[in-house]
Structure 1
Amino acid sequence: MATIVDRLIESPSIASRAMDSVPGLHLDVATVSGVEWDRLVGTFDEACQEQLYTFAISRWPSVKHEPLVFSHKGEIVGGSLMMIQPLPLGIGGIAVSKWGPMLKHGGRADAPMIYRGMIDALISEYADGRGLMLSVLPRASLTAVNAESQHLQVRGFKMGSTLLFPSRYIVNLRLSDAEQRKSLHQKWRYHLNKSEKVGLSFEHAGPERIGEFHALYTAMTDRKQFPDHSAYETVEPLMAMDASLRPELFFVRHEGEVIAGAIIFKIGDRAVYLYGATNDKALPLRAGYFMHWEIIRWLRDNTPAGWYDLGGTDGFQGLHQFKKGMVGEAGVIQPVPSVANYASRPLAYLAGTGAFAARDAMHQVRRFIDGLRSTKAKPDQIRATAEDN
């Protein structure tokens, strides 16, 4: 379901009025344990896997993690898992909120006021109080204007790094089967129809079968010879969480053999595609089309999520066409905004932006090396990327 902010956004002028015509609420702030934080995040509309403590300590073990809960008149209204990265030589540090701060209830009328209040509190604590650079990355909006990103600019944040391929492909889950099929692009629907005639079956699996997915995933990465820079090391701790928090596992089987699988984050108003894997038999059977179609239906019928975020493409044109066709006419394709940076002290800003520049340069070098390696991949390996992901 779209948040109240998203529903108000139809043009830049409306976005500005929605976020800036009201003051931010004064919120109480408390730090909680990692275990308590994950339990609370499971009740948030804007929950995402990067904001889970269990994910963050596996993905970024060297930084300090501070789960902050925001309350108004005794009611929890939002939160943010802050990651504190000290810089070398003690010259400063960066406080990062990735995909945060999150609203607990995105549809409430005072959501813009709550968001503003959370940003004010983060500035007060990390920029003014501790002298750090505050870095905030909002999630992709469901509309043409990202109201949160726009508010950050009005509040004095400066735009920083932007993803090289920022588009996110988001499927509308609240459609009937007939409406969803009609939304699909014609070629995607054609491949789906073909996949439904070759004897594939769909399975929702428990965490005890994660070993089967590991086997598929390892074989796929070995087959493609593509470097894996994902957060795959977080899968085991995520799958060990309570049932209400852990991702869901799905498989596609053909003639008794598991040929495809996927791991899906399902908490909050947006389910998220985390990982997918196939073997050599999946591509000619169009197993990727069949699997995603069944996942869409399962998420619609078994979760409150209104949207299914397929992630990005990392520049692969085949993957763009595959995801664009699945998003169809009823879904949205919108970019992740630039990182927004704020510092109360000039030295903190210079140190923080310098650190980000060094990181971005390192990523560019890695991408160049990956590009050289990918030219050695066989054409069928590259073509398979669309369905595997």
Structure 2
Amino acid sequence: MPASRTRAAHVRFATADEIARWDELLLQSPDEGNVYRCTANIDGMAMQGGTPVHLMVGGHAVTAFRVDVPLAGPLWVLFGPPVDDVRELVRSARAIAAFAENYGIVAVRFRTQLKASADHERLLQRHGLVRVPTWLDDSTVVVDLKGSEQDVLSRFKKRARKSIRRATREGVTVDRVPATEENCRILYEMLDATSGGRFKIPTLAISTAVFQRYEASGQGQLFLARHDGEVVVGAFVATFGTTALYLGAGSVRQRPGDPSLCGLGGSRAAYALQWHIMRWAREQGCERYDLDGTPSSATIGDFSHPRHGVGQFKTAFSEEITDYLGAYQIAVNPRRAWLIRQLEIRAQRADESPLLNRLRGRQVRPNPDYVWLRR
């Protein structure tokens, strides 16, 4: 039996020395970790109320957070564990749940880098793991940055290459700017307008602190794109190892208060921004660029999907969609874990209620990728 599988049952808290070397340990994981597990993101989550928990599972560093759920109790939410297959995930989940029971934890949630599979989903369910809302997108587009710039461009769809050239003709400029209070405010206001209440974002103060923390670590860069002298779209990108992540972005809207209509017009500024980001990421030694969130491969063609436009934009840079297995929960205290699940189901139904959303002034459509949550 491989050594990684025999170690999977051993769980402990990381030592002070291991925590000091956390990013180094993460990069030694079988899946090389990701931005969401790194020290800079741990600090950012702590700013938003998460309590970091550093675990060693089967000899690998696993980033987790303790989240207190009113009426139910505390959860551990894990970015990982970095397992090679779904059966190893089951073994690790059971071991972590047994360990967590000693600390009054109600349930443990996992989000690995394993790819989606109907067979794997059924296996997890047979072993008592329940699918739960993910705190990361279940599907994404990852752009291959290897080779020359021409190699990268040649892998884009034709419309992306044409849009990048058009943006140049339109006079669009993209700048790498420091994460000052003012620049962070500019990006935040566009992100807030883009959100329009359709998804949650941290406050301006927290967003600024997170961006500045990444910048200070040398793992982040803020970008602003201008057209006719006005900032029209911006983004913050973080790196970890050889991967860059599209961490947060926003653009101007056609009409104030209407998040559904982008105001970029025909400038193609968003395409120019992405190409500039990719060139920067290559300079940082990155081999891939995670565009962080798209409809799944099963729903990418669904025009009713609330993120249809996002998916069409991102797949212009790479047609391949990566679908992850998603987040799963293993109960430590079955009754309280069941209560958390029921609270989430009801909250999700409220979020998609046509009547409630009319009263809130929100334009929210059901996400067909989350149909499992309504079962």
Alignment of 1:272-351 (within 5 A): 272-279=245-252, 282-312=264-294, 315-328=306-319, 332-343=320-331, 348-351=333-336
Counterpart of 1:55 in structure 2: which amino acid?
G
1:384 equivalent in structure 2: none
Q: Return the offset for 1:261.
A: 1.3
Name the SS for the 1:199 alignment partner: coil
Q: Return the offset for 1:324.
A: 1.5
1:268 equivalent in structure 2: 241
TM-score (norm 2): 0.72
Q: 1:126 aligns with which of 100, 103, 109?
A: 100
Could you list the per-position Cα deviations for residues 301-360 of structure 1 after superposition, in whole angstroms to 9, with x for gaps in the alignment?
Answer: 2133534233235722211211121223xxx3122324222235xxx1232132122123
Q: Return the offset for 1:137.
A: 2.0
Counterpart Cα distance in 2 of 1:155 and 1:244 = 43
2:201 equivalent in structure 1: 230
Counterpart of 1:160 in structure 2: which amino acid?
R
Quickly say closer, same or farther: Cα 1:237–1:37, change in 2 above 3 A.
Answer: farther
Quickly say closer, same or farther: Cα 1:50–1:236, change in 2 above 3 A.
Answer: farther
Show structure 1 runs of 4+ deviating over 6 A. 17-20, 110-117, 149-152
1:218 equivalent in structure 2: 189
CA contact (8 A) 2:130 2:329 kept: yes
Q: Return the offset for 1:119.
A: 4.5
Counterpart of 1:101 in structure 2: which amino acid?
P
Quickly say closer, same or farther: Cα 1:146–1:269, change in 2 above 3 A.
Answer: farther
Q: Return the offset for 1:362.
A: 0.8
CA contact (8 A) 1:240 1:246 kept: no
Alignment of 1:102-181 (within 5 A): 102=82, 119=93, 121-127=95-101, 130=104, 132-139=106-113, 141=115, 145=117, 153=124, 156-162=127-133, 166-181=138-153
1:78 equivalent in structure 2: 61
Query: How many residues are paired up?
Result: 333
> Which runs of 5 or more structure 2 residues have no equivalent in the other structure?
254-262, 296-304, 365-375
1:241 equivalent in structure 2: 213
Counterpart Cα distance in 2 of 1:238 and 1:36 = 23
Are residue 58 (structure 1) and residue 47 (structure 2) matched?
yes
Counterpart of 2:292 in structure 1: which amino acid?
L
Counterpart of 1:196 in structure 2: which amino acid?
T
Counterpart Cα distance in 1 of 2:281 and 2:118 = 25
Are residue 353 (structure 1) and residue 335 (structure 2) matched?
no
Counterpart of 1:342 in structure 2: which amino acid?
I
Q: Return the offset for 1:291.
A: 0.3
CA contact (8 A) 1:168 1:311 kept: yes
CA contact (8 A) 1:184 1:327 kept: yes
Quickly say closer, same or farther: Cα 1:86–1:291, change in 2 above 3 A.
Answer: closer
CA contact (8 A) 1:216 1:279 kept: no
Counterpart of 1:267 in structure 2: which amino acid?
F
Quickly say closer, same or farther: Cα 1:18–1:264, change in 2 above 3 A.
Answer: farther
Counterpart of 1:54 in structure 2: which amino acid?
D
Counterpart Cα distance in 1 of 2:223 and 2:251 = 12
Counterpart Cα distance in 2 of 1:306 and 1:48 = 12
TM-score (norm 1): 0.69
Counterpart Cα distance in 2 of 1:199 and 1:240 = 29
> Which runs of 5 or more structure 1 residues have no equivalent in the other structure?
1-16, 104-109, 377-389
Cα root mean square deviation, aligned: 4.1
Counterpart of 1:308 in structure 2: which amino acid?
D
Could you list the per-position Cα deviations for residues 255-292 of structure 1 after superposition, in whole angstroms to 9, with x for gaps in the alignment?
Answer: 54433211112123432212212336743211001101
